């Protein structure tokens, strides 16, 4: 931190929606040039607090001070006037406009005839990119950029608007490690210039790597503020969840996995140029991790196995018998389940209820002679909600009203109700809070303990190390390494292997 001067102070902020208090007298302060983590479970009030600072919501009571002066913030324009910018999880960029046009959207440069001055806009955009040390073609359409460059373009847009306080909401949720490194380099450059950053994240390793202090919210209240040098990850998680008995995931791997007959074998799987001649075996009760950088082919591999994408070559075996899977219906019939990477778009119908979503993959098994058994339906839904601890436990509540973690529990509950033999999980903890991540990983262990087999994709290496028996490292669409868990020393060791660094 470069200064003890509070550039932003939010004092006793309260906010209610439809009579439900979501912020209860919360105070929050950020000093000049610091990166301040804001942590808490989904629904704790983090995003609401920052959206008040950004002018998306108005506060019910309390005061905001910026640079020592009382601030009245009721809109984006008000926030911009005070030098506050926010990069949301869902970007605000216009895909069909260029990077330069997006950076100066609503602040277009005009020539002497008051027409849009494209040359000056491009020139100024290049200056912003140079200032941030970024090599991004400002004439390219945003739609042609990867998510990491779109993220950095959002930051450039905020900085071009003279933001002195930058709010980042889960900025690394879909970024590969090297892209995270590039983002963090930019953030360090910004703080060196005196820009203050509020960093909302569920990723503990990133919080410790980039942040100076942390404020923890729980149930709409401020619980604590710490220097990160003075608190352990276990203590943070205990504050976030309100439980002192939080279990940190540790796992040595089962040494007897390969003493049994494989439940599943993939041989020579080919999917265009994205998956090249991949072969592996999966054993009963095993949790097999797939590690790799973004774009390595992990998601494409499990989608092809599940029949979502066409395989251009290769064979599949279940219990030693050749099987052909051309679509998800055939995959389900053979005992597969898929927890997809994007739960909102691929795993759930957001406007439907918890009950409707849980039943979506199970109606045929719950019907008898073409008649639905309503008693069986109610039993399945009730048992699923209880077993997977969906909160609130209301079958008729629309899933869009649930937190991200509880939405993910509904996805898992839906597929486990089909009684699968093999569960494919693609980034099951993306965008969920720390406490729920641990709960989901415990569910993965419980699924394997029942004798079911799991293939787990995760970009969070501690998760793979915490639950997997073996880990396949996928690199450029191929199996680069096959590792027994007991032979992996720690996260740094696995990270080097994933990146192809000889150890």
All domains of the chain in start order, with CATH? 6-241 (3.40.50.300), 263-498 (3.40.50.300)
Taking alpha carbons only, the member of 492, 494, 467, 468 closest to residue 481 is 494
Tokens for 110, please give them.
Answer: 């005009």
Going by the DSSP 8-state scheme, the letter that residue 75 receives in this structure is S
Rounded Cα–Cα distance for residues 165 and 63 (Å) = 17
Q: Is the pLDDT of residue 212 over 90?
A: yes
Better-predicted residue by pLDDT, 255 or 304: 304
The yes-or-no verdict on residue 252 having pLDDT over 70 is no
The number of CA neighbours under 13 Å toward the Cβ of 386 is: 6
Distance (Å, rounded) from C-alpha 30 to C-alpha 16?
A: 24
Instruction: Give pLDDT, residue 256.
Output: 44
Model pLDDT for residues 279-312, shown as the tens digit of each residue:
999 999 999 999 998 789 999 999 999 999 999 9
Q: How confident is the model at residue 369 (pLDDT cuts 50, 70, 90)?
A: very low
* Distance in angstroms (rounded) separating the CA atoms of residues 103 and 138: 9
d(CA 265, CA 422): 11
Give the distance from CA 280 to its chain's centroid: 27
Calculated CA dihedral for residues 318, 324, 329, 332, nearest 10 degrees? 0
- What's the start-to-end Cα distance of the chain, in Å? 35
Q: Is the pLDDT of residue 117 over 70?
A: yes
Q: What does DSSP assign to residue 307? A: T
Strand, coil or helix: 9 = strand
The rounded distance, in Å, linking the Cα atoms of 141 and 384 is 45
Query: What pLDDT is recorded for position 111?
Result: 62
Contact 371, 423 (CB under 8 A): no
Measured CA to CA, the distance from residue 330 to residue 323 in angstroms comes to 10
Locate 162 and state its tokens.
């003279």
Q: Chain-wide mean pLDDT for the chain?
A: 89
- In this prediction, residue 434 carries a pLDDT of 79
Tell me the whole-structure pTM to 2 decimals: 0.72
pLDDT tens digits, 313-330: 999 999 999 999 999 999
Cα–Cα distances in angstroms (integers) from residue 73 to residues 198, 289, 499, in the given order: 17, 47, 45
pLDDT at 235: 92
Task: Give ∠ CA 405-355-376 in degrees, rounded to 5.
Answer: 130
CB 79 within 8 A of CB 55: yes
In the three-class reduction of DSSP (H, G, I as helix; E, B as strand; rest coil), residue 234 is classed as: helix
Find the helix packing angle between 147-160 and 177-192, rounded to 10°.
10
- What are the angstrom distances between the C-alpha of 33 and each of 78, 154, 189, 193, 202? 22, 19, 10, 7, 22
Do 168 and 222 form a contact (C-beta atoms < 8 A)?
no
**Residue whose C-alpha is closest to residue 442's, from 293, 174, 248, 252:** 248
Per the listing, tokens 């990119």 go with 129
CB 381 within 8 A of CB 417: no
Question: What local confidence, expressed as pLDDT, does residue 383 receive?
Answer: 94
Between 498 and 365, the higher pLDDT residue:
498
Q: What is the dihedral of CA 93, 98, 102, 104, to 10 degrees?
A: 180
> Which range (260-269, 362-371, 418-427) has the least confidence?
362-371
Q: List strand residue ranges (DSSP E) for 59-205, in order.
A: 61-66, 69-71, 84-87, 165-169, 196-200
Specify the length of the chain in residues. Answer: 503
Range in 73-82, 99-108, 212-221 with the lowest mean pLDDT: 99-108
The model's confidence at residue 250, banded by pLDDT at 50, 70 and 90, is low
Contacts of 27 (CB under 8 A, 6+ apart): 9, 10, 11, 12, 13, 222
Mean pLDDT of the region 368-385: 77
Q: Is the peptide bond before 392 cis (omega within 30 degrees of 0)?
A: yes
> Could you read off the pLDDT of 444-473 as tens digits, one per residue?
999 999 999 999 999 888 899 999 999 999
Distance CA 492, CA 490 (A): 6
- Residue 294 sits at φ, ψ, to 5 deg, of -60, 135
What does the DSSP assignment read for 330-349? HHHHTTEEEE-S-IIIII--
Of 418, 335, 420, nearest to 380 by C-alpha is 418
pLDDT tens by residue, 226-245: 999 999 988 998 899 887 65
250: three-class secondary structure by DSSP: coil
Q: How far apart are CA 230 and CA 382, in angstroms?
A: 44
């Amino acid at each position: 931190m470069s200064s003890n001067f509070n550039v932003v102070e939010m004092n006793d902020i309260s906010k209610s929606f439809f009579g439900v208090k979501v912020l209860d007298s919360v105070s929050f302060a950020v000093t000049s040039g610091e990166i301040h983590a804001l942590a808490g479970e989904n629904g704790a009030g983090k995003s609401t607090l920052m959206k008040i600072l950004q002018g998306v919501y108005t506060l019910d009571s309390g005061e905001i001070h910026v640079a020592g002066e009382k601030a009245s913030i009721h809109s984006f324009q008000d926030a911009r006037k005070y030098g506050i910018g926010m990069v949301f999880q869902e970007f605000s960029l216009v895909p069909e406009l260029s990077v330069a046009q997006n950076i100066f959207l609503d602040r277009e440069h005009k020539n002497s005839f008051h027409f849009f001055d494209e040359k000056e806009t491009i020139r100024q955009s290049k200056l912003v990119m140079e200032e941030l040390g970024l090599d991004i073609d400002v004439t390219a359409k945003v739609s042609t950029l990867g998510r990491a460059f779109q993220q950095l373009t959002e930051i450039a847009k905020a900085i071009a608007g003279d933001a002195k306080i930058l709010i980042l909401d889960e900025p690394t949720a879909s970024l590969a490690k090297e892209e995270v490194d590039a983002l963090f380099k930019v953030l360090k450059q910004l703080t060196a210039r005196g820009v203050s950053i509020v960093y909302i994240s569920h990723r503990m390793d990133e919080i410790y790597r980039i942040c100076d202090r942390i404020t923890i919210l729980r149930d709409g209240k401020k619980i604590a503020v710490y220097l990160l040098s003075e608190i352990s990850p276990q203590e943070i998680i205990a504050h976030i969840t309100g439980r002192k008995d939080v279990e940190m995931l540790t796992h040595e791997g089962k040494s007897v996995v390969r003493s049994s007959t494989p439940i599943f074998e993939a041989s020579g799987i080919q999917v265009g140029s994205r998956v090249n001649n991949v072969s592996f075996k999966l054993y009963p009760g095993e949790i097999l991790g797939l590690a790799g950088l973004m774009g390595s082919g992990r998601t494409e591999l499990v989608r092809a196995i599940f029949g979502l994408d066409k395989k251009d070559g290769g064979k599949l075996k279940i219990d030693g018998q050749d099987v052909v899977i051309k679509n998800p219906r055939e995959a389900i019939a053979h005992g597969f389940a898929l927890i997809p990477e994007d739960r909102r778009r691929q795993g759930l119908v957001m406007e439907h209820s918890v009950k409707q979503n849980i039943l979506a993959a199970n109606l045929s098994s719950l019907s008898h002679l073409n008649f639905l058994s309503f008693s069986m339906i109610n039993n399945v839904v009730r048992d699923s909600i209880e077993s997977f601890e969906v909160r609130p436990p209301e079958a008729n509540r629309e899933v869009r009203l649930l937190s991200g973690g509880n939405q993910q529990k509904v996805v898992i509950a839906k597929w486990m109700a089909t009684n699968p033999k093999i569960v494919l999980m693609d980034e099951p903890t993306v965008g969920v809070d720390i406490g729920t991540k641990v709960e989901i990983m415990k569910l993965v262990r419980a699924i394997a303990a029942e004798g079911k087999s799991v293939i787990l994709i995760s970009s969070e290496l501690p998760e793979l190390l915490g639950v997997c028996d073996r880990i396949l490292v996928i690199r450029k669409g191929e199996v680069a390494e096959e590792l027994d868990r007991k032979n992996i020393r720690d996260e740094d060791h696995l990270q080097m292997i994933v990146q192809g660094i000889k150890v």
